Chains A and B, each alone.
Chain A
Amino acid sequence: MDENINILELCKKPEQIEKAKRVSSEWSRSDYSGSIKCRISNSFRMKYKIKPGLYAVGEPDANSEVFASANYKLSFDVLRKALSGLSAWILVLDTKGINVWCAAAKGTFGTKELVRRIDGVKLGNFLNHRRIILPQLGAVGVNADSVFKRTGFKVYFGPVYAKDIKAYLNAGRRKTAEMRKIKFSMLDRLILTPREVIPAMNKFIIFAVIILLFFGIQPTGILFKSAWVYGEPFLLLGLASITAGSFITPVFLPFIPFRSFALKGWITGILLTVPVIFLFNSPELKNILIFSATILFFPMASSYLALQFTGSTTFTNMSGVKKELKTALPVYLISAVISIVLLIIYKLHKLAVI
């Protein structure tokens, strides 16, 4: 809150202006650390919210532009940082702490919520104009025509990225073709990998327990030593699959052949699985049953993990993912079952049951 605001000045202003929370366009240290934690921790991200409502950056007045944002704090922070040096209003919608794009796809950043907020803060009462600028991706959830009919406000779909806002305003609210395009750079993809790797590691723990139990069971009982000696290569193969499917495939996406994510993941998977098998060169892995199960299972696991990444990309579509799943899911299931059967046969053979 600016302590120096002249009380008389405030009295002259309509109540809504007075009520708007003032925010700086500068980021504090906690804003920076929050922006990093969001990428790593799901639970942190889900709680990284701000209160919906009207905010003021700089010293906006009745002629200043209004920008709409989500109440995911990172979306809001990126926007206010991009507005540094300007005076503007930010209308924060209640998107349940989710960013604009995802929220627009879910409908929380949508026509209804926008109309409700415009009415709620009585935006029309203190502005001399009837414009509201939305991030372009908000168009996924907001019908501009219907907002106009219901509130009298004309929706402008601004640039995709907040950093282009100044250039957009300077050009008289006009976008270049470049400002309309959503990008997906290697850095963007790298930033997204923790969200792929961390859930995969949670599954890995279950996998590791099963593998250790499997190799630990000996005629004499469960032996920790044999669990580790025989199990270790498989644990590493599991980690190789995660590296291939959840890290290498996303980061090097355009450089891996095929358009299908399932195929991309399988390719990186096999490229990592084979060296690990030869690295260990253990007698277990030379067994044809184990070898077949390994070749079948690990590249497939990588393929499955790579397919998960479709949820984070900016260019895949639902019809395509459905099509991939239609063939991939049965293949995954069958290969998993065959791998398990092979392992069981091997184990029974080892235990001299058959």
Chain B
Amino acid sequence: MKYLKNVSSLKFFAEKCTNCLVCIDVCPHEVFKLKNKKVVVADKDLCMECGACALNCKYGAIAVNSGVGCATGIINGMLTGGEPSCDCGGSASSECC
């Protein structure tokens, strides 16, 4: 399943990347792939902007604008003029540990 084309704010700075593979390890959508021994963005449209890769890349080679992706949260944010915030008590990953 893919969401809208070309909307993810994921940015990858290849020149800073040391190919440590951490991003491949933490991304739940296989956005990064190893190609000719180098890490590349395989499919940006699969990115859900969770931010795990950017948070765990020691070399600052990834930037992504991560945040709550639910409509209610974003509407709340628009109304209050602040950041999107949701009151989701749980999410799809209820089977995750």
Chain A residues close to B by CB (< 8 Å): 38-39, 42, 45-46, 67, 69, 72, 74-75, 78-79, 82, 97-102, 105, 135-137, 139-145, 157-158, 160-163, 165, 175, 177, 180-182, 184, 188-189, 191-192, 253-254, 259-260, 307-308, 310-325, 329
Contacts and interface: CB of A to CB of B under 8 A. Distances in A.
24 contacts: A42-B89, A101-B91, A105-B68, A135-B97, A145-B58, A157-B26, A161-B96, A162-B96, A181-B29, A188-B95, A192-B92, A259-B3, A259-B4, A259-B5, A308-B72, A312-B91, A317-B7, A318-B65, A318-B74, A318-B84, A321-B71, A322-B74, A323-B7, A329-B75
Contact of B96 (A100, A157, A254): A100
A143 B59 CA distance: 13
A105 B50 contact: yes
B75 A312 contact: no
Given A137-B28, A160-B96, A259-B3, A321 B52 contact: no
A101 B71 contact: no
Interface of B: 1-5, 7-9, 22, 24-30, 46-52, 55-56, 58, 65-75, 78, 84, 86, 88-97
Contacts of B92: 101, 184, 188-189, 192, 312-314
A317 B28 contact: no
SS class, residues of chain B in contact with chain A: loop
Contacts of B68: 105, 311, 318
Nearest to B55: A143
B52 A161 contact: no
A310 B71 contact: yes
A99 B4 contact: no
B44 to A, nearest CB: 10
SS class, residues of chain A in contact with chain B: helix
A105 B55 CA distance: 11
Contact of B1 (A69, A163, A184): A184
The 4 closest A-B CB pairs, nearest first, are A311-B70, A162-B97, A139-B52, A139-B26
Q: Which one of B7, B47, B48, B92 has the greatest number of beta carbons of chain A within 10 Å?
A: B92
A311 B69 contact: yes
Contact of B70 (A46, A97, A312): A312
Given A100-B97, A175-B25, A260-B4, 6 more contacts: A39-B94, A160-B28, A184-B92, A317-B49, A320-B69, A322-B74
A46 to B, nearest CB: 5
B74 A321 contact: yes
Nearest to A188: B92
Contact of B51 (A78, A140, A323): A140
Contacts of A320: 3-4, 7-8, 69
A142 to B, nearest CB: 8
Q: Which one of B22, B58, B95 has the greatest number of beta carbons of chain A within 10 Å?
A: B95
Contacts of B66: 105, 140, 318
Contacts of A72: 90
A41 to B, nearest CB: 10
Given A82-B97, A139-B56, A316 B3 contact: yes
Contacts of B48: 314-317
Nearest to A328: B71
Contacts of A102: 88-91, 93
B70 A308 contact: yes
Given A135-B97, A180-B28, A316-B69, A99 B90 contact: yes
A306 to B, nearest CB: 9
A313 B96 CA distance: 14
A311 B2 contact: no
A72 B97 CA distance: 10
A288 B8 CA distance: 43
Contacts of B47: 317
B97 A161 contact: yes
A99 B84 contact: no
A319 B7 contact: yes
Q: Which one of A78, A137, A181 has the greatest number of beta carbons of chain B within 10 Å?
A: A137
A125 to B, nearest CB: 25
A224 B53 CA distance: 60
Contacts of B25: 136, 157, 175, 180
